[in-house]
Structure 1
Amino acid sequence: MIKTTDVIKTGSVIYRLVNFIYTNVCDTESDVSVAATNRMLTRDDLSLIPDPLPKPRGSQTSRDVLWTFEDIKMLIGTDLPVFRDESYYVSLRLRDMKTPINVLTGLDYWLDNLMCNVPEVAMCFHIEGIVKQYEIIKTEDIPDLENSKFDPQSVTDIAKNILSFLKNNATKEGHTYWLYKGTNDDVVKLYDLTALCGDERGPSEQNPFTVPLGMLLYRVARNMWTNQTPRKASLMRTLLENCLILLDGTQHPQVCTSASYLLSDLYVPDSSLDDDWSLPGSSSEENSDEESQQDVDNSGDSGTHSVDVKVLSKRGSVSRAKELTRLKPFNETAEERCTEATKFIQMGLSYLRRDLDLGTHKRSSLVEEQAKCNSDEAIPLHYEPIRKNEKNANKNTKTHTADPDTKYEVKVDLDLQMTSVTPDSEVRDRKQDQSWHVLSKGLLFRKAAFTFSALAKQALGSNNLLDLLKFLKLAFSCFGALKVILPHKAEENDALLSSLYGLLGDARLGLLKTGLLPVDWPVIWKTSPPEECAILEMTEKEFETFEFESWFDLPSSKPDILKGCVQCYKMAVQLCNKKNKHVFEPLVKREGNAYNELGVCLMQQAQNALESSDLQEKSLTGMQTTWDQASQALKEGIGVFECIEDKANQALLHCNLGRLMRLIAQTYTNTVQIGNKQEFTPLEREYYNKAINSYKTALQLGNQGFKHLVESVRWELSTTYFNMAALLQDYAPLTSVRQEEVENEVVNLMFQSLKYCGKDNASFASQTMYQFRAATINHRLASLFHNSLRDEHTEQKRKHLRTLSESHYEKALKLYYQMECYNEHLQTQLEYIALLDLCLSGQTAPRHQLKTLLYMLHSLTDCSESLKSLTSQLEDSNQTSDQQTSLLKESHTISTIMETKLQHTLLQLVKVYKQINSRKSGKEASSKADDMKKLYAASLGHGKADSDSATVISRCKFLLTVLTQVTCFYQEVLQKDLEVRHSLMC
């Protein structure tokens, strides 16, 4: 049979547990409060709204101890004096020797040492304050002391049973329970006060435990947040949500405001700015299994539970039920969390507005801190005399004497009037409330800016550009309101503003590319959630003009929009911390990309103007302005990428700068061609050289590990050299430079172009492009040497020029034939025949003439395949009229020249064979002469010179027939002479 006192003493464990949970819940006004405040004030963002509740009274304990009791952890407060050094602990107890240690005292000593993990107690025995002796007693020996013997296991079992009993029965969320045992009762009863009050009070009356419980939930959640030891986000969310359910926003607006802010900060932490949505300190223990959540059926519950004292004394008589997980983890997506945060922010701002409308906050309205009346003190009445002059003061003063030995004066004001003067404490409280409102509103707007910034990132990720622009306008509006309300707080959030500017640049750039401009704002707000519209309306009340409005007035001009993008990124980079490389470097790259987009846009604008303009003086001046702006943008972009040593993007912008220089040179070329003086000008040379320098710089940067850029840059550089060489060749500046110098420069430029036309390293898709460029270069070089040969009179140089010209003609013909460019092949072949004809005019020996003529005839027979292709193209009916006209004109010219060349070659062969036959008689020469006469006669059979389609096709077919006859009759001779040709070429 366990004594009642044992149960009561065992209940001290519960008392200590409750007492020191209170210590954990409440901020003390001593070191704990200071430490918590310092932790709050040293946070980087200083974002926690000040606590609207007054500070509670501190705990009377000197320190807190985390005690593990069986499988339960409790925070215990204690004032037990403990002495220690590095390895020894001992507690001190003073004991009057006249009163021996009894069971309750021994139990008390044992529990205190056990909770504080002290191995020994030092007993100091005294008589009327005079110390008589000391005795060291081990903690485990205390239950065995004389007159204080008890069973430690029994105490442990009783405490464990009580805790299990509470765990099983105190299960309803939001309910208040009372554990009670009367002095002579055999049972311990647990009352559900919430349920009992609900039965006894009417439905219209408020539960007296609702407000204290709501305040307690808020206090616990807030201090968990402030102390951060540890952070349990799911638990805090549950506490705060229940707090808002229990408290009436009209009665406790400030607490509800603070709770709403804390909830929004849980859903959208400040770390979300860096895309970090994790909540520090949250553990896996908070994860809940919704399937395991079971609601206890208490429909028939009377609100009272009891357990027999005898049952509590038996080991394991009360077992704990299965743990019920009631915490909802943060499994929402980032967008869902932002949506929830927006609702709580709007709720908090509404509470603030309601509080301001109702008047200043009255601290006496808080139930947990109600002021108490003192019956020994008079209620102060705020009265003062109407007239305060000295005369009236003396007049209105009377002296009363109650005792001759005791004399006292009582001053009585005869004329009294109640005044409206506010006491100093009330004025101070009002000022504090006003500052609280300002800080709370500013921080709610700040959190709203964070939330809308996160939503903007989500919209950018899903390419929803209109939502992106909407969220950015909301975020900037909230930040503008914060800047008006708390300017110093706005200055502390440069990282947030930097992120918003960067996202705004992305939004403008994206809207420009997708063609979603202009933006219809009324439609956007009409389809937006009411919380967003309410927050926007609240922000607009804070400022007369929206500071960031100009950023959302999108112009219609594409360059102006891109200039705005550049400014957005520049602002973002200026506000960003350079040490934060994972944020700074991407921002810089986006700024450089915006510069590149602006430069390319202006370049395209200049290109369009070049194609549509007649290049008058006025239009050329406007184009020069565009060139300067584009060049400046690209150079600025190069400088930006140089700051972060981004070689690849530097190469890209240098390549675009080279294209711009080529465009300027082309514009001046067109200007020269319109005028009377058609020569390659120094301005063209200047800009082509600038383009070459830019491409070479890009190529050098690309070779440092960015192989994907090399092919493109090499092609552009080859094109620049080729264009410059072609213009020098076609429009030689002979008035200022000698022809020989021009030809040498053209040859050097062509060879440079051929050098960078590296088809061996090119991709398969670029092979044809490189081959055609190489064929064209060889064709132009052959034509250049061919033209030089006409004006050269030195035999040695003529032979050298002929060799060079023939070599390049051969290379060009081979490449054109491989690519099946039959029209170009025909043109080049005719030019080559013209070269042979030129060489023929300088030959006098019949044998040499014969070989040249046979080589010309063989070159003509090589045109058969190209001529067939040309005929097929003429007969193709799928071509447009313009294509047909152009092809017909070209075919008429080629077929006419070929017919003439064929007739001329055959006639000359007849003459040569006759000349050979006259010098040396022989049947072979005579037979060949006769055959040539027949072929020459056959080549004269067409005779029509019209340029209509039917005539041209007929002529092409006729030429094919003659060439076939030439090939059949003289195949052996041509083959023999072909071998001679190869030997001569070698």
Structure 2
Amino acid sequence: FSSFDMANSFTEYIGEVDVISDSENIKKLLKMPYSNAHISMMVHRVGKTLLLDEFDIHKHLLRESQNQWEWLRKFFYDTVLASLQAKAKVALRKNKRRDILQNKNMFSKFLHYSVENDSNSVQKLSTCPDMAKAGGSSGEARQSVMVHESENAVENRVPEAGHDFLRNLLWTFEDIRMLIGSNMPIFGGGTRPAVSLKLRDMQKPINILTGLDYWLDNLMCNVPEVVMCYHLNGIVQKYELIKTEEIPHLKNSHFSPKVVKDVAQNVLSFLKSNAAKSGHTYWLFKGKNDDVVKLYDLTVLCSDLMDDKQQNPFTLPVAILLFRVAANMKESPDCKRKQGTIYRLLKNALQLLDSSKHLQIVSSVHSLLSDLFVPSDLDPSKVQTASPEESEQSDDSSWRDSEEDSDTPEDTAKCTESPSVSVDALCVPDRYRNEGLSDAEKSVFPFRSNWRERCRLAMNHVLEGLTFVLSESPTNAQSSESSPPTKAEAEAARFEEENLNMAKPYEPIPLKYSPLTSDAPVQIEEESIPEEKKLDEAWKVEVSKSFTNLRDPSWKHHCLQFLLQKAVRIYCAMAELSCGEKRYGRALKCIQYGLQCHEQLRYLVVKDGKQCCLESLVYLLGLAGDVYLMLVHGEKGFTKEEHLEDSESVSSEDERILLLLEKISSHKINIRYCLAGEFPQDLERTLVLSARCYASALKILPNQKRDVFERLTRRLGNISNELGVFYMNQAARIFNELEYSNEQVEHLWAKSQECLERGVEAFEMLNDIPNIALLSSNNGRLMRLRAHAAATVEKGVTRTEFTAQERMFYNKAIKYYSKAARILHSRKLYPDIWDSLHWELSSTLFTMATLLQDFAPLSSYAQEEVEKEAVELMMKTLGLCSTECSPARQPLYQYRAATIYYRLASLHHNAYRNQTSEDSRKKHLKSLAEHYYDKAQVLFETMENVTEFVRVLLEHAGMLEFQMAGLQGFNSKLNKLYSVLKLFLTSQKLMTHLNEKPATSPSESPEHEDTPEDAEDRNAILLLFEKRIQATLRSIIKLYHTPGKHRNEAVMNMWKQIYSESLQRNSDVPVEIFLSTLLSRIKDALEPGP
């Protein structure tokens, strides 16, 4: 059957053309209005294309030797012949009269001598004629072009079947596109590039059928002229050149091209409307001298006559053709738009095939179906957000979400009606129109947007495919060879023999070889391509060949590897979907099964001496790391019980895949990365597994995958940071317990530092500045905790001096913070990180300076060295406090700066007290102390911090009082005491504001309200302040009681009165109110001057 041979040779045109057939069959249909001859053709539908083949009734049905058509013979006698008025209407055999055979023989000899005798004449045979410049007679759209494959004409291809045509052509007749095979010889040369040659008896005029035959031949082959050679009893009389467009108007051969056009359109519409089922076998039949054409659906009408569906000789060729067309569409660039059509073709192929007899084809069909639901180029990470694929269905038809494609009772009833059409009706313009779309054109593709269901269907097809592949064992093959072949098997063998790989005459056959030694150089002529890309491309080509080349001896390995690869991809998508649904236990289970499938795949590929593509393995490991991380950061934190049930449940598909995996290899495959499927029992194990999965994925990741490398490296850095912080917090928690092991804490410190350093290394590979700074800051925090742990003493034991170990850890912390600050460079790009980092750095410097000041290591360093280092650290801290920061941190920096000024003042005050000689250094220390006291007072007053302000004030007053010890005269001592009082008066403004605050703003925000501890501290310091004022007043009175000319009774009595008042505060009067009044009395006493 020639149409199947053409369709198998040009699968890329199926769906693009309306009809594939021998040109003689097309001519028979178009000549129906003018001919009474019988018509018997088999019609098959593949997608949108109709395949037409002549069906010889005498050869196939009326000869007793054709037993395989027994079912059709019975139908023919019972149905077709019974419906005819006279059996004579049926032409039982081809016309083989003597005169007809003589004419054929004469024409054959004529062609032979025409070519041989005059090779330079007009009648020159051309197997590739030029395009005729004028192809139509009246402007009608007629076009015939040679079918091309790549750059070479297809007719130059070595035929793969026994039905050889001189040429295969794409012929467009009006709006009908046809792929036809033609055997008409074409001559040409000189000014006549293409002509056809016809031999006619001068005694017989050209009738309508002959003229119509010549006209259609020239139109199909795009030949503009025909040369008529007239003979008389075999002797040439003359030649006549006739243009193609003149043939319909010849004498005795007048016909209307418009009628032919109408017949073509009506016949096509009639067939497309009624031959609507892909895979069904239709019989187009018209008896001799009959005026009605009938179409029988033999698949439906003869279903009860066939014991086995494989009894239909068309079943296997149609199924294979459906499969090949679907495979060709799957490889096309716009395959996503054709998913519905591909799905329908493959489903129809499965319905036609007997899975017990054609395991190879059935397995390949299941493989393609699995790839249709979950494409190989699908990015599993996008299944959550992937929009439905663009499909051909979106243009002119509606989707149906149904996987089944069975015939409805209405469809069956319609098929049993055997539609017919009269020949006269075919001549009426637009008599039949193909209304709507046939089942083949509805492009049903189920669950196109439901990825969960698509994965389930794809997995079912993978399981079916694996089952059939593994069922094709050598024992089965031997038993099939020993038993006689059935009819279907014989037909399958015939089909495969017709599709053998043929060598092309002008193409060298590539020799497959491998070097004798593994290090032998191999020349590569192609462009330099990354190795991983080569592997991927080679893999895809190999798999696609295994589908279309059914004679490939390595088909089983290819199909098995493809199905395992598809199973891995499906589990990747299912794990991603489970993550989106927050079913992390199920996601880990899918990852585990995916890893098992990949290990089996790797085993098979390596066994064949090849390298296995690791893209899916990298994805599974990376996804496993993500799942573990999401387990930690769930809404409820790490909850093992919530996901444990999902991780332990096993579906029926999972059980089947495990059983099939055991069949593939004779021994159990060890999973290298089994940790990726482990369900963790605690938080630490979860974090560790996540880090290991990311590290394993990066280890096997090719260098070319830069985007994947960056993503995995960044996640490894993040999880390393989290793991480091986890160990840090664990160590701090254990350290705060009453009883702990130093070795355990030190081990946790070390693990924390190791994880943080690994995270820094990961981010440094990406030059990720903000994350490097953050991890360096965490390293600094770790060093501060270790310093704190090194300084801790047992309860009840006095804190000793600042140790060398503390110094080491604080210096390391400062180093980490400084490194992070240098990396950030400025606050402009990362203000939040910058502010946090500078605060931590200032805190570290301030803490170290405070410890040096409070617990000076005098056993190792001199006092001056310690003081110098403490001052340097405080000055650095002050520099950080003065930098730009967010408004929220401004009060913190302000308080720290005031505290530093206070400590600097105290340090210099202490040095001043310890200085024995009256030299310039002592004066300098005094000046610095007073300067820093003033700075601290201003800042504390600005912040309205009464407690700290008064504390600084009292210490400052203490330094003034210390200076009195070196004074001798009355006036000098009195002036110094007055200086102390004046210093006390600087607090009057703050005291007044403190008294007014509750009355003027009783509902201050919580952050400005004093806590009980603050109020207690403030009252205590104010009481001390009260006593210091009283002591100063008492010192003035004592000074006035000393003998000498300076005695002034009035002044002395005034201070006595004020001192007396300072002692008379009632217990129910707040101390701040009393102090405010007292300071006012002192101020009044000092203003006039004593």
The aligned counterpart of 1:479 is 598
CA–CA distance in structure 2, aligned partners of residues 335 and 291 of structure 1: 17
Quick one: structure 1 residues 19 and 63, their matched pair in 2 at CA, closer, same or farther if it must change by over 3 Å? farther
CA–CA distance in structure 2, aligned partners of residues 24 and 703 of structure 1: 78
Q: Deviations over 1:102-134 (max 9, x none)?
A: 655554454355445x36357496989999999
Residue 309 (structure 1) shift: 0.8
The aligned counterpart of 1:239 is 345
The aligned counterpart of 1:370 is 491
CA–CA distance in structure 1, aligned partners of residues 52 and 922 of structure 2: 106
Q: Which has the higher helix share?
A: 1
Matches within 5 A, 1:15-34: none
8 Å CA contact 2:42–2:283 kept in 1: the answer is: no
Q: Choose the corresponding residue for 2:179, options 40, 62, 75.
A: 75
CA–CA distance in structure 2, aligned partners of residues 847 and 66 of structure 1: 124
8 Å CA contact 2:44–2:282 kept in 1: the answer is: no
Task: State the AA in 2 paired with 1:660.
Answer: L
Equivalenced residue count is 864
Task: State the AA in 1 paired with 2:326.
Answer: A
Matches within 5 A, 1:513-552: 513-514=633-634, 516=638, 518=640, 523-524=645-646, 527-540=649-662, 542=665, 543-544=667-668, 546-547=670-671, 548-552=673-677
Q: Choose the corresponding residue for 2:858, options 734, 737, 756.
A: 734
SS at match of 2:420: strand
8 Å CA contact 1:672–1:678 kept in 2: the answer is: no
Task: State the AA in 2 paired with 1:936.
Answer: Y
8 Å CA contact 2:802–2:852 kept in 1: the answer is: yes
CA–CA distance in structure 2, aligned partners of residues 799 and 955 of structure 1: 43
The aligned counterpart of 2:789 is 667
8 Å CA contact 2:1040–2:1047 kept in 1: the answer is: no
Q: Which runs of no fewer than 5 residues in structure 2 stay unpaired?
A: 1-28, 54-148, 151-158, 495-549, 1000-1005
Quick one: structure 1 residues 156 and 840, their matched pair in 2 at CA, closer, same or farther if it must change by over 3 Å? farther
Task: State the AA in 1 paired with 2:791.
Answer: T
Quick one: structure 1 residues 971 and 222, their matched pair in 2 at CA, closer, same or farther if it must change by over 3 Å? same
8 Å CA contact 1:596–1:653 kept in 2: the answer is: yes
The aligned counterpart of 1:413 is none
The aligned counterpart of 2:952 is 828
CA–CA distance in structure 1, aligned partners of residues 786 and 493 of structure 2: 89
Q: Choose the corresponding residue for 1:341, options 449, 458, 478.
A: 458
The aligned counterpart of 2:377 is 271
8 Å CA contact 1:439–1:486 kept in 2: the answer is: no
Matches within 5 A, 1:102-113: 103-104=208-209, 106-113=211-218
The aligned counterpart of 1:315 is 429
8 Å CA contact 1:858–1:974 kept in 2: the answer is: no
Quick one: structure 1 residues 2 and 342, their matched pair in 2 at CA, closer, same or farther if it must change by over 3 Å? closer
Q: Deviations over 1:820-868 (max 9, x none)?
A: 5444344333323323333444455145324313224315646747987
The aligned counterpart of 2:731 is 606
The aligned counterpart of 1:257 is 363
8 Å CA contact 1:449–1:475 kept in 2: the answer is: yes
Q: Choose the corresponding residue for 1:508, options 628, 648, 656.
A: 628
8 Å CA contact 1:197–1:207 kept in 2: the answer is: no
The aligned counterpart of 1:408 is none
Are 1:721 and 2:845 counterparts? Answer: yes
Task: State the AA in 1 paired with 2:291.
Answer: D
8 Å CA contact 1:665–1:688 kept in 2: the answer is: yes
Quick one: structure 1 residues 736 and 643, their matched pair in 2 at CA, closer, same or farther if it must change by over 3 Å? same
8 Å CA contact 1:823–1:870 kept in 2: the answer is: no
The aligned counterpart of 1:443 is 562
The aligned counterpart of 2:870 is 746
Task: State the AA in 2 paired with 1:70.
Answer: E
Q: How does the TM-score come out when normalised to structure 2? A: 0.69
SS at match of 1:271: coil
Residue 505 (structure 1) shift: 1.4
8 Å CA contact 2:215–2:248 kept in 1: the answer is: yes
Residue 299 (structure 1) shift: 7.2
Percent identity, aligned pairs only?
33
Quick one: structure 1 residues 651 and 120, their matched pair in 2 at CA, closer, same or farther if it must change by over 3 Å? farther
SS at match of 2:378: helix
Residue 268 (structure 1) shift: 0.7
Are 1:858 and 2:977 counterparts? Answer: no
CA–CA distance in structure 2, aligned partners of residues 794 and 133 of structure 1: 147
Residue 259 (structure 1) shift: 1.9
Quick one: structure 1 residues 903 and 266, their matched pair in 2 at CA, closer, same or farther if it must change by over 3 Å? same
Q: Deviations over 1:289-325 (max 9, x none)?
A: 2499999955764421111111112222223323356
8 Å CA contact 1:569–1:590 kept in 2: the answer is: yes
For structure 1, which segment, 777-786 or 815-824, has the greater mean C-alpha deviation from structure 2 after superposition? 815-824
- The structure with higher relative contact order (CA 8 Å, sep 6+) is 2
Are 1:812 and 2:907 counterparts? Answer: no
Residue 806 (structure 1) shift: 3.5
CA–CA distance in structure 2, aligned partners of residues 913 and 772 of structure 1: 41
The aligned counterpart of 1:326 is 442
Task: State the AA in 1 paired with 2:432.
Answer: V
The aligned counterpart of 1:456 is 575
Task: State the AA in 1 paired with 2:623.
Answer: L
Quick one: structure 1 residues 699 and 204, their matched pair in 2 at CA, closer, same or farther if it must change by over 3 Å? closer
Matches within 5 A, 1:817-896: 817-819=941-943, 821-843=945-967, 844=969, 845-846=972-973, 848-859=975-986, 861=988, 864=991, 890=1017, 894=1021
CA–CA distance in structure 1, aligned partners of residues 236 and 1024 of structure 2: 139
Task: State the AA in 2 paired with 1:539.
Answer: L
Quick one: structure 1 residues 557 and 315, their matched pair in 2 at CA, closer, same or farther if it must change by over 3 Å? closer
Task: State the AA in 2 paired with 1:288.
Answer: S
Are 1:569 and 2:685 counterparts? Answer: no
Quick one: structure 1 residues 170 and 799, their matched pair in 2 at CA, closer, same or farther if it must change by over 3 Å? same
CA–CA distance in structure 2, aligned partners of residues 488 and 706 of structure 1: 53
For structure 1, which segment, 228-237 or 288-297, has the greater mean C-alpha deviation from structure 2 after superposition? 288-297
Quick one: structure 1 residues 735 and 366, their matched pair in 2 at CA, closer, same or farther if it must change by over 3 Å? farther
Quick one: structure 1 residues 540 and 840, their matched pair in 2 at CA, closer, same or farther if it must change by over 3 Å? farther
Quick one: structure 1 residues 274 and 526, their matched pair in 2 at CA, closer, same or farther if it must change by over 3 Å? closer
Residue 163 (structure 1) shift: 0.7
SS at match of 1:304: coil
CA–CA distance in structure 2, aligned partners of residues 956 and 64 of structure 1: 118
8 Å CA contact 1:64–1:77 kept in 2: the answer is: yes
CA–CA distance in structure 2, aligned partners of residues 450 and 587 of structure 1: 19
Residue 655 (structure 1) shift: 1.9
CA–CA distance in structure 1, aligned partners of residues 361 and 707 of structure 2: 39
Residue 894 (structure 1) shift: 3.1
CA–CA distance in structure 2, aligned partners of residues 150 and 569 of structure 1: 79
CA–CA distance in structure 2, aligned partners of residues 853 and 229 of structure 1: 94
Q: Choose the corresponding residue for 1:305, options 416, 419, 426.
A: 419
The aligned counterpart of 2:101 is none
Task: State the AA in 2 paired with 1:455.
Answer: M
Quick one: structure 1 residues 713 and 74, their matched pair in 2 at CA, closer, same or farther if it must change by over 3 Å? farther
Q: Deviations over 1:129-168 (max 9, x none)?
A: 9999998765434444566553322211111110111223
Task: State the AA in 1 paired with 2:443.
Answer: L
CA–CA distance in structure 2, aligned partners of residues 744 and 755 of structure 1: 17
8 Å CA contact 2:898–2:936 kept in 1: the answer is: yes
Residue 890 (structure 1) shift: 4.9
8 Å CA contact 1:13–1:159 kept in 2: the answer is: no
Matches within 5 A, 1:914-933: 919=1046, 927-933=1050-1056
Q: Which runs of no fewer than 5 residues in structure 1 stay unpaired?
A: 26-34, 37-54, 374-430, 873-878, 943-953, 981-986
Task: State the AA in 2 paired with 1:191.
Answer: Y
8 Å CA contact 2:228–2:242 kept in 1: the answer is: no
SS at match of 2:655: helix
SS at match of 2:419: strand
CA–CA distance in structure 1, aligned partners of residues 317 and 332 of structure 2: 22
8 Å CA contact 2:985–2:1083 kept in 1: the answer is: no
Are 1:288 and 2:408 counterparts? Answer: no
CA–CA distance in structure 2, aligned partners of residues 713 and 202 of structure 1: 84
For structure 1, which segment, 10-19 or 327-336, has the greater mean C-alpha deviation from structure 2 after superposition? 10-19
The aligned counterpart of 1:161 is 266
Quick one: structure 1 residues 886 and 711, their matched pair in 2 at CA, closer, same or farther if it must change by over 3 Å? closer
8 Å CA contact 2:389–2:448 kept in 1: the answer is: no
Are 1:688 and 2:804 counterparts? Answer: no
CA–CA distance in structure 2, aligned partners of residues 819 and 974 of structure 1: 28
Quick one: structure 1 residues 521 and 721, their matched pair in 2 at CA, closer, same or farther if it must change by over 3 Å? closer
8 Å CA contact 2:186–2:197 kept in 1: the answer is: no
SS at match of 1:270: coil
